[in-house]
Structures are given as structure tokens and as C-alpha cells.
Structure 1
């Protein structure tokens, strides 16, 4: 018989609980907790599960709207109406800490977890995105080899899980910066489709209803993973490999189909994924949501390892498992379906009326905790917030203007800007035959055949902006997401987010979190998009320091008709090139400064929400009038990079290159300032020459500056800026842009 360790202050601290929190636990229980109960409180009151350091800030987000069917925080994912009785469930989650320790399994199980969040809602998952951050994979950084290993492992893990389960990964983003050395960010997004009446709930309803465990057997992998994700990464974190889960996408595919088949019957009263905190979270959360209690016996739980203790069984985060509250009398339905899909299942407990989460082992009580106080009443903190030192600001007079020909090649070759084909070629984006705009454009576009709806999706965040001005950086993340959707012809519907920050106990880090949340909230209100849910990932720090604040935004939009779908790359020689939004002049916080001059300095570009929204509305009007052949937003690298990408990004390059001849005149601006500034709210479109007049007239009537700046065609990208001439062959641009990441990974 296993002897449980004695509860000591040292053991309490090792579980990530403060003395005050331990006293609160004793007050709730009216006694000392045993070892299993201590572990249960440890994971449920971790930041990862309780958001105890961030929940008060998250209340600032707008979460309601005419299309909202399930609000943020109510269930595993929010649900948005898309018309004709159809709805979408989508969410973004992180698996940062596990991926830093074991990149393949960390990323793979992150994908598996977000997929379960979606089909737990009763939705069929139809596509995924991801947003990734790593330290440099080029240059002379001492961590280059480690960063390449992490990058390769994460991409391989994502592709393995998504490809095997048959859900396409159709878009995303990847950035590289020194701040992510040793602490990569792996944010994964999934979206599913369902009818309104198919929405499933995660509440333990119906006293006397049986509780079923279904899916993979429980093992010792992922032990206390939620607590592991709620502390800083250190040199000793490699010892936390047992906290990293191991995924089986083939088992998850069976689980997905079995659960959706079961949800189509009248047998289910409630369903909950066993994600972070495993059995602990699923039992106490379903009981809390239902206002009931749940009693389970661990002796009935399918296990793949012998001799597991109650502590291990309750805290295991083994993957591909679900807890289902079954309507009494429908037990055979559950057994028949899961036997058909060759999945383990067991009736492990019952819904009670006492509000307790009661855990038995062979009939003996090993944990007994009030469910609501465990799941919903973790201590909430107001952390000290303090702005750090004012970042250095650009003095343009002291910035030497270098070789603009070389500068563009350097920008295109930088892994943050270079083609991500090395990544997305590993993903199956064609499975389900719904991908309309393939990876590499501003937004992914997917035809959901079940509902005959065209959805666009994007993930966005410029960590450099957020490091220099977190509120403005977050505002821009929302604006860029909406701009990317507009470039695809889509109207934004809603937002999910993944807030990645350092240790919240450090006032500068918490100030970054607070400012970012307020910036995101401002942006969501400006574009009238509710937040449907998301994730907070704190303690993203390595011994070298905290990451740049990275409040990643996942935004989904809808396109009314297939003829409105627009992609970013040039379509035909002779097309006119039009710049919407003006020439701009803001070089601060630009990738040009970072890549070419080695400076991460401000100021961050300004943002006018009203003008931005007017620009998006005007672009959609032009697209609906069938004037626009391509549309590409200006972001990292400014005008020169956007134009170069438009010449290069065609997924099936035509026999003859589609270069461009550009002429721009903006007296008083330097050439590098014209080419590489990142002033917001700008878009490059192409159109037939005969349509230029109506386009410029419509934009003028709406008060939006626009200029015809060139023509598509030829095997050169030639620019005349304020009388200065600079040119590149399409071949040299493609070599710099297309092969950069592959060359780095093969070095």
C-alpha cells in the first residue's frame, strides 16, 4: 500500500500554492487536505486552469453580440451563428511550455487538445491554424541550433497530428526573435461546424445520471501539466518531461467520430474533454456548471499502467479522453457506440445532489471537495502593474540610409518575412477538399460544405510592436486581423485570442498584460467583433528573460459569395497597381530597423480605427463590384515587401514572371522611408486598367487616399521613388524569399 507524503510547507510550495492559498484550502475543507486533494487544488488553482492572475483583466473583453450563441467562458469554446441555422465553434489554445521541453509531442498534443475542445461542443472540426514563435534560426546566436530543433519538432508535431486525424491546417503565422530563445510559443486554433440544435454542454445535469469515462486509458504522462505550465522555464525544466503529454491522433479520430455519433442520439446530458488537469478538471467543472455533485471511483477508470495512485490518476493529462454524463437508461447506447469504435469505456460514477466532487478508490474516499469552490472560486489577484523604461525612439536624422537594393533582399530573406512554404508543405491543407485560398495569402479561405458557407480566418500579432507599446501593438493586432479578412473579401465575425506573457508577479510584465488586454478590447469594440474565448499563457520566461508580449489574435470572417474570394498575389500582366491608404512615413518599430539596422526602437505606428474600418468597408465594396483582382495588406516590411510578396506568392507560378514597375513620389521623404515604413491601414490592390477610374472615384468619395502606383508585368521589380531608381530581378527576389527557411534548416 502506498504511503502518502506528509503535507509540509515545502510540499505545499512545490505544488505552486502560497501559504495563504493553503489556509484557504483548509477553510474550504474545514480540515487539512490529504496528498491527493493537495494535488487537485494545485492544478485547479494554477494560472493555467484558474486564470487567477488574469481573470479580472479578461472581463474587459466584449463577449456579447447578435451572433453569439455560447459566450466566452461558458463552455469549452464559444459558438457564433453564421446563418441558415448553422454555427461555428472556434478557439485558440497554447502548448508553449510542453513544446519547449518536448517540441514534437508538445505541439502534437496541443493540436489534439484544441480539436477536443471543439468537438466537445458538438461541432465537427473542419480546419486548423497555428501561430508560432521561435528564437533566431539564422545568424550567430548561440541558440540557433536549439531553435532549429524546436522549430523542426513543433512543425513536425503539428503536421503529424493534423495530417493523421484528417483535419487540414490551412494557415497561420511564424515569427523569429531573440526574445523567444528557449521559450517558443505554440498557439493552435481549430474551428468546427454545427447546427444550432447540436450545441453540447459541459454540465453534470440530472441527479442519478451515470458518469462515463471514454477514450484512451489513463497513464502517467502529462502528470500535473497544468501546474508545469504555470511556472517559469528553467534549465531544470527538462526534468519535467513527465509533464508533457503523449498524443495518438488515430485514437483521437476514433474518439471524435464516436462522440459525434453519440451526441446525435438523446443519450448525453453533458460532455467534457479531459484536457488540462485531466479527470480533476472534467469532474469538478461539470459538477460546478450543473450545480450538482459528481462521485467517481478510480478503480473503474481504464488504466494502461499498473499501480497508479489516486494522485497520479487524478492529475494525469493522458490524451484522447472524455467524461460524459449519460441520461439514465441510455447506458447501452454509450456502450454500443464506443464498442463499435473500438474505444475503452467505463461507467465510473454518478451525478449527486450535494455539490461535492467525491473521488473513491475501490469504494474508499480519497478526495472530497466542494466542486464550485474548487472550479470557480480560486483566489483572484490584483497584481502590481508598472510601466518599464521608455523604449528608445527613432531619430531619423541619425539613421544612415543604406543600400535599398540589399535592404529588400535582407528583409525578404529574414525568416519572419520569408515564405513559410517549408512549414506549410508539411501540412495537409487539401484534406476535406474545402481549402479555397491556400496557405501564403493574407487569410485562409475554406468552404464548409456541410453549410455551404465560405469562411476566412487569420492569426495576427506583431510582438515587436507589443514590446515597444503593448496597448498599441494589441490594437494593431486586431486591426491587422480585420484588414487581412477584408483583403480576402470577408466581413469579420468574432475573435479568439491567446495571451502570451512573462511572469505576472513582475510589475512590468503585468503592466504589459493589462495594456494589451485593453488594446484588444478597444479593437474588438471598434470592429464590432466579440471575443468568443481563448487562452492565457503566463510565465513565458527562460533564464534569459521574458518573451516579448505576444497577444495573438485569431479572427474569423464570412464571405457572402464565392466570386468575392480574393487572394494576395498578382494575377495578370498589364493589371494596374493601386495603393490604398497613402504612402506613409513611419519607420519606427519597423522590421526594416530591426533587420537592416539591428534596432528594436519606436515609436510604434499610429492607428485610426475609424479610418481603418472605412478602408476595409471600401475594399469589400470594390470586391463586391468585381473591380479587385488581388489585395494584400501592408504590414512587416512596408510597401516594398508587400509588392515583392505579391509578385512571388502565386501558389502555381505562371510561366512568365509577374513583376512590376512602380513609380511613387512623396516629396520630403527618404527612399527607405517610402519603401519600408509600416504606417497602418494600407492595402495594395490590382485591377484592370479600365477599372482604375471608378476605383479611385469610389475611394475619393469615401475620403480614403489612393494612388495608382504602377503596372504588373515583366521579369523585374522596378521602383522609381522620388526620382531614385532601384530594381531587382524576380529570380533574385524569389531566391531570397522562397528558399530562406529551407536553407537555414538544412544548414
Structure 2
């Protein structure tokens, strides 16, 4: 049950021993997953406000202004531990949970984005996990008619035994329908609606705050399972009662189940809560009070309703075929009471349950081997550079995601106007404007230098929308790390948060929400995950001028390279493939990266840029190869002044992009003071020719496509693992 230190604190506050249910409530609500007990001191570094921020961190989702009529909501969560035990259900319920976070704010969901981090696909089990994660996410999204618009998949051995399934959801709604979870008035009733309560995910918050071990992980049948058809009805019912102004406050039931939702809603308004557990609709007659209060059964919502509106709300629930029940009311005095079978089973002060958890920064130190991490050696220059490039393009981290995208992004709504596989997904809101969105992380750099890795994560995502002519509107994060009780792991978390915070401030992007997923370590493989501070970023894009494509579209255009290329490959995919991830120097972040991103966004918003692609993992070689269509390119990189071809092609220096234009005058004017070099032209035929100081390389489109199909080839091998 409760750790001794926490139990002592609870006994002192209550003046008595807590019973089993009360201990379970504290155990779950005081877990890292719910209370951020070791991460909150770090999260305070984030700038969470801005002129467009309407609701920042602390509610189910954040809400930001789109224009005078519309608002956007964004939430980001993880479903890591469940997705290792049951990847299909874990991923599906991850989508369902984050969607409910968005609808509880009164904003219909319009898109989900999914960054996944897994072990390599050479493993049969990893192929099984990956396939089922994709299928679970796609099936759920398709059923509820929410577009899977963007994602990331990154592969590394240190995710064996602990895959990361992160999900971002974006909602779009009217300003007048904004809802919060702040309770309003004593005497108001609370309606629990959605799925009947079962034993799913019991103790899930506590489970998510512990290391992964196959010996003590829950059985697959206790992992929450989703019902997407019911979720669709819950979405419709929730939005209807909100639009009809029948709801005072609302939130979904996630971690800690009914206990977490009811206590936190009461505390936000400064009230107590009298909960009648007998009224909770149950899947099974023999559930005990702990199971009723702490189950994490999916597809459930809790709404505060004025007594005079209860009849109308119940009629709407019946119309949508959504089970619903009156489970209690707000009270004065700030006490949470659970009544069951005529007996008070729990009686706790809500402010202490929510805010009494000890929050403190943990000891941190750089890993002992830190002085040996960044050794200066370089690999031998490959004798056959063309073969090397093709080998790199076949790396799972650089290979084409076309087959992945086709499985994940099943649902395409009329409002989706981004390109499959492009730098950013785009949703149309009005005829003149839309929202660009992206997600991802830089784990390999973060292992060597977590601060720089986090800064590059923000830069990379900001660049993804800049090449669509957009600047950052807001950012949500999902901080995936190891055990915070280990000083080295806490150091990675601390340095990463500082990097995210500093970069977001420099780019004037408020951090409006997120999630912390710690204890991502595998006893099975004796590993901790790479530091993985994944983020999702939104920006507003204009349709008044053509939005640049991520791919070559027109021949005889000038190809520009924006930004500075450094011969620094520490943390690069090139060194990872060469088993030299400790070699080299991590990329130098240019001091003026904010100005570079601003200039790229400005140029791409002019309508004069036909194609634009940011340069990130895999460097110039990957970026150029990714842009090929039936239009190719001939480029000359000798002017960059880098001697070694591998440094030139595979450097992952941040804040760089490729732009193609018909007329160079306007771009040259916008790029004054920004590194900008014309490196070649687009040509017919889809081939790629690269001239360096030492050699000329020629690739056909067919050669590049074949090398880039490694993920598709791996997944075709299949798996027998069950």
C-alpha cells in the first residue's frame, strides 16, 4: 500500500489510520503520474502564458485562440506501460483517453498525432508490438472519425521492453463552448456517463509510476480495453450537452478513475463531494468499493449539472444510448465522502489529497562515464559513398513511413489538406486559414547531451511548421524518462526540461500542457529508455498564398540551402548506424536559430516557395532523397567548405532547410543576414545528383525507393509472437 513516508504524513493529517480505500486513493493520486511529485519543481521553468493562451496547464487540455470565433485545444499523453503488455488495446485506449481530454473542453477532436518509440524491427516481438500499436491507434481513430494526421516512429534497442506510445490530440471549437473542470456550485449534481465500470486498469496510475517487469506487470486482461463505437456516442453526447449550456464543469475519467476525477473537480472549485458509489453503473455485480472507485475503465466522463437540468441531460444520454447515472453532488466544507451500502467508506479533505503530496526536486548528477561520452574519433571514410548513402536510407529511422502512414492514417476528413509524409499535417479551419501541426523528439542527441537534444527537439518541430509558412502558436510535451530516484536519470529529465524551456522561450512558444511518464525502465532487458522529451507543436497557416509542398514539384527551380552545416555528427543517425554513438561532437546550435526559423516561415508564406523541407535526422542526404518525386535535383555542395563527404551529407546541424523557387530575388531579400546558399536546381526524371569536393554521386529514384522501403520489408516478414 502507501509508502511509509507518505503513510506517516497521511496519519498526521487525518489523525487516524486511513482505511484500505483511502490508502488506495492516496497511492494513486500521489503517484508521479498524477501528482508530478518529483517533476513539478522542474516544470515550473516553462513559460505557460501568452497572448493567445486561454487555458494553460492544469485542465484536461489546453485551449488557445485561433481567431475571434474559433479556438484550438491540445493535449498530449502517454500509454507506454499498457502498450507493452497489450499493444493493440494500449494504443487504442491511449487515443481514446486523449480524445476525451479534448472533448471535455467543449472542442470537437479533429486530429491525432502519434510519436512512437520502439525497439528495432529485427525482433519478431517488436514487429508484433509495432503492428498492433499501429492497428490499435488506426482502428480507434477511424471508428470515432478523427484523422490520424501525423506521427513519428523511432527505433532503438533501449526501447526493447518499454515502447513509448505518445499521442497528441487537437480539437477545434467555438469560443462560446469552452468548458473547464472547475466545479461551480454546491448542490449541483454529478452525472457519470459512458461505459459501465469494470476492473480495467485497476491501479493504473500507480502501475505507470513503476519500472516495467514482466514478473509484476498486470495481466493482459486487466489492461483497459477500448470501445470506440461507445466513445463516438460519448463524444456526441458530451458535445451536445455542452453546446446546449447544460454543463457547469466536465472532465474525463483517466488515471485513478472516478476517485481522481471527482476529487480533482471538487478541489478546483473549492468544494467537497458526496459520492454515492451504489449509483455507479457496473459491468459486474460483485465489484468491491476499491474497484468501483479506482477502476480505469475507458469511455467515461463526469459532468457537473444543475439539478433543474438533470432530466434534459439524462434524455440526451438516452438518445445517444450512453449509460448515465447521478453519482453525487458538490458540498460545502471541502470533504470528499464516499458512501456505499449505507456506510461512509472514505472521508478525506480534498485539498490535502490533491495538494498535500510532498513535491521536491530529486538529487541529480551526470552519468559517471560522462567524461568518456564525447570522444573525438571519426569512422573511416566509406570507400563506396553511394552504397553508404543507400545503407543510411535503409536505416529504420530514415526509411520511408509510407506503409506506416497508410496503416495509421486511415481516416481522412475533408478538412485535412496536408500531404501524406510531409513535414507537418494541416487542418483547414476557414477558407483563409488553417492549423499546421507536428510532433517528435531527438532521443539520440539527448543521450549525449540532454539539454542540446531538447533544444533541437523544439527547433525541429518549429522548422516543420515554418516550412509551411507558420510560426509556433503553442507546444505540449510528453516527458518520457527513466526512474527519477536514480540521480543520473533525474539529471537527464532536468537538463531536458531546461532545454525545452529555453528553446520555447526563445521562439516565443508557450508550453501549454503535457504529461510526465517516468519509470520507463525494463527489468526484462536491464535498460532504461533514451531520454525522450517528445513534443507536439501547433501553428497557424495561411491559405491566401500557396503553401509549399514538402516535395519537389517544378523543374528548373533554384534549390537553396538555408542555415549553417557543421561537420559535427555526435548523436547523428550516421554514427548510430556505425555503432559509434559516443563519437564526435553534438551539433552546435546557432545562436540566431530563432531568426533563421522566422525567416524561413516568412519566405514560405510569400507564395514564392514551391517546395520546402526541413533538414534533420539523416542530414542533407535524407532531406534531398525525401523530396524526390518525378522531379529530381542536381546539387553542388562544394561551396559549403566541408572536406569529408560523410560530414557533408549526414551532419544533423539544426535550423536548416531546403527551399526551391522560380525567382530568387524575394527570397534573397528575406534571407539577408541568414546563411543562404544556392546549391543547385530541380530537374526532370526524379533522379538525384550530388557533387561534393571529392566526388559526384548519382542516385536513381528507383534506387532510393528500394533502400527506403526497409520498414515495409521488415513488416512483411511478419511475426508469430502472441
* TM bin (shorter chain): over 0.9
Q: Of residues 33, 56, 72 in structure 2, which corresponds to 1:88? A: 72
Q: Of residues 235, 241, 252 in structure 2, which corresponds to 1:273? A: 252
Q: Of residues 35, 46, 49 in structure 1, which corresponds to 2:31? A: 46
Are 1:670 and 2:644 counterparts? yes
Q: For residue 720 of structure 2, what is the aligned residue in structure 1? A: none
Relative to structure 1, the CA distance from residue 453 to residue 204 in structure 2 (aligned partners, 3 Å threshold; closer, same or farther) is same
How many angstroms does 1:230 deviate by? Answer: 0.5
Task: Tell me whether 617-626 or 119-128 shows the greater mean CA deviation.
Answer: 617-626
Q: For residue 714 of structure 1, what is the aligned residue in structure 2? A: 685
Q: For residue 171 of structure 2, what is the aligned residue in structure 1? A: 192
Are 1:410 and 2:391 counterparts? yes
CA distance in 2, matches of 1:468, 1:343: 50
Superposed, 1:454-465 pairs within 5 Å as 454-465=434-445
Q: Secondary structure at the match of 1:330?
A: helix
* 1:87-111 Cα deviation digits (max 9, x unpaired): 1110110000000111000000000
Superposed, 1:415-426 pairs within 5 Å as 415-426=396-407
Are 1:224 and 2:203 counterparts? yes
Runs of 4+ in 1 over 4 A off after TM superposition: none
Q: Which segments of 5 or more consecutive residues in structure 1 lack a partner in the other structure?
A: 1-11, 139-143, 649-656
Are 1:437 and 2:415 counterparts? no
Relative to structure 1, the CA distance from residue 698 to residue 488 in structure 2 (aligned partners, 3 Å threshold; closer, same or farther) is closer
Q: For residue 728 of structure 1, what is the aligned residue in structure 2? A: 699
How many angstroms does 1:481 deviate by? Answer: 0.9
Q: For residue 157 of structure 2, what is the aligned residue in structure 1? A: 178
Relative to structure 1, the CA distance from residue 668 to residue 491 in structure 2 (aligned partners, 3 Å threshold; closer, same or farther) is closer
Q: For residue 427 of structure 1, what is the aligned residue in structure 2? A: 408
Superposed, 1:23-172 pairs within 5 Å as 23-73=8-58, 75-138=59-122, 144-172=123-151
How many angstroms does 1:704 deviate by? Answer: 2.8
| Count of aligned residue pairs for this structure pair | 712
How many angstroms does 1:597 deviate by? Answer: 4.8
How many angstroms does 1:697 deviate by? Answer: 4.3
Relative to structure 1, the CA distance from residue 576 to residue 705 in structure 2 (aligned partners, 3 Å threshold; closer, same or farther) is closer
Q: Of residues 484, 489, 507 in structure 2, which corresponds to 1:509? A: 489
Contact kept? 1:220, 1:242, Cα under 8 Å: no
Relative to structure 1, the CA distance from residue 708 to residue 726 in structure 2 (aligned partners, 3 Å threshold; closer, same or farther) is closer
Relative to structure 1, the CA distance from residue 668 to residue 462 in structure 2 (aligned partners, 3 Å threshold; closer, same or farther) is closer
Q: For residue 481 of structure 1, what is the aligned residue in structure 2? A: 461
* 1:483-534 Cα deviation digits (max 9, x unpaired): 1110111121000000000000000000000000010000110000111100
Q: For residue 323 of structure 1, what is the aligned residue in structure 2? A: 302
Relative to structure 1, the CA distance from residue 394 to residue 647 in structure 2 (aligned partners, 3 Å threshold; closer, same or farther) is farther
Q: Of residues 446, 471, 488 in structure 2, which corresponds to 1:491? A: 471
How many angstroms does 1:573 deviate by? Answer: 2.3
How many angstroms does 1:545 deviate by? Answer: 1.5
Q: Of residues 582, 587, 608 in structure 2, which corresponds to 1:605? A: 587
Output the TM-score relative to the length of structure 2: 0.96
Contact kept? 1:455, 1:559, Cα under 8 Å: yes
Q: Secondary structure at the match of 1:258?
A: helix
How many angstroms does 1:723 deviate by? Answer: 4.1
Q: Of residues 336, 341, 346 in structure 2, which corresponds to 1:362? A: 341
Q: Of residues 561, 566, 581 in structure 2, which corresponds to 1:584? A: 566
CA distance in 2, matches of 1:636, 1:35: 50
Q: For residue 676 of structure 2, what is the aligned residue in structure 1? A: 705
* 1:661-701 Cα deviation digits (max 9, x unpaired): 1212144511111111111211111112xx124423442x2
CA distance in 2, matches of 1:350, 1:392: 57
CA distance in 2, matches of 1:663, 1:590: 23
Contact kept? 1:214, 1:344, Cα under 8 Å: yes
Q: Of residues 711, 715, 719 in structure 2, which corresponds to 1:745? A: 715
* 1:124-149 Cα deviation digits (max 9, x unpaired): 111110100000113xxxxx111111
Relative to structure 1, the CA distance from residue 241 to residue 429 in structure 2 (aligned partners, 3 Å threshold; closer, same or farther) is closer
Contact kept? 2:63, 2:71, Cα under 8 Å: yes
Output the TM-score relative to the length of structure 1: 0.93
* 1:339-371 Cα deviation digits (max 9, x unpaired): 110111111111110211110112211111111
CA distance in 1, matches of 2:645, 2:702: 23
CA distance in 1, matches of 2:184, 2:670: 56
CA distance in 2, matches of 1:163, 1:562: 31
Contact kept? 1:72, 1:78, Cα under 8 Å: yes
How many angstroms does 1:452 deviate by? Answer: 6.2
CA distance in 1, matches of 2:325, 2:287: 17
Q: Of residues 513, 521, 538 in structure 2, which corresponds to 1:533? A: 513
Superposed, 1:229-378 pairs within 5 Å as 229-378=208-357
Contact kept? 1:579, 1:709, Cα under 8 Å: no
Q: For residue 19 of structure 1, what is the aligned residue in structure 2? A: 4
How many angstroms does 1:714 deviate by? Answer: 2.8
